[in-house]
Amino acid sequence: MHELSYVVRFADRAIAIAEEQHAVSVRKLVVQIGEMTDVLPEYLQKYYPEVTDGTILEGSVLETEPLPAKVRCSSCGTEYHPEKETGYLCPVCGSGAGKVLEGRHVVLKEVILDS
């Protein structure tokens, strides 16, 4: 379970941003969860109030959205969404060699402040 460490990290970043912008409070954090991670949004939600209690983030909302995986084929250069049905192979040339461009990380996309 590394959800807690993500929440702590995102909360720290959001607090820093809020201070920088001289925000009165924070309305919402938007976090994107890569499809290829094993991070569960419900755990982020569970830890969020505990982590933000007593900070400028207290009472704000943590919104999560899925970030679809994207792979670039090393053989033909096609960027595609890996599908289980096709064994995650390139739909154009069938190659299994590819570089994951997106979907392997959890990222803080947006911090919405009340000013």
CA dist., res. 4 & res. 92, Å (int)? 39
Question: Quick check: 97 binds Zn ion (CB under 5 A)?
Answer: no
Q: How far is the CB of 100 from Zn ion (least distance, A)?
A: 14
Question: Quick check: 93 binds Zn ion (CB under 5 A)?
Answer: yes
How many residues sit close enough to Zn ion to count as binding (CB under 5 A)? 8
Q: Which stretch binds Zn ion (CB under 5 A): 6-14, 19-27, 45-53, 67-75?
A: 67-75
CB atoms within 10 A of CB 32: 19
The footprint of Zn ion (CB under 5 A) covers 73, 75-76, 78, 90, 92-93, 95
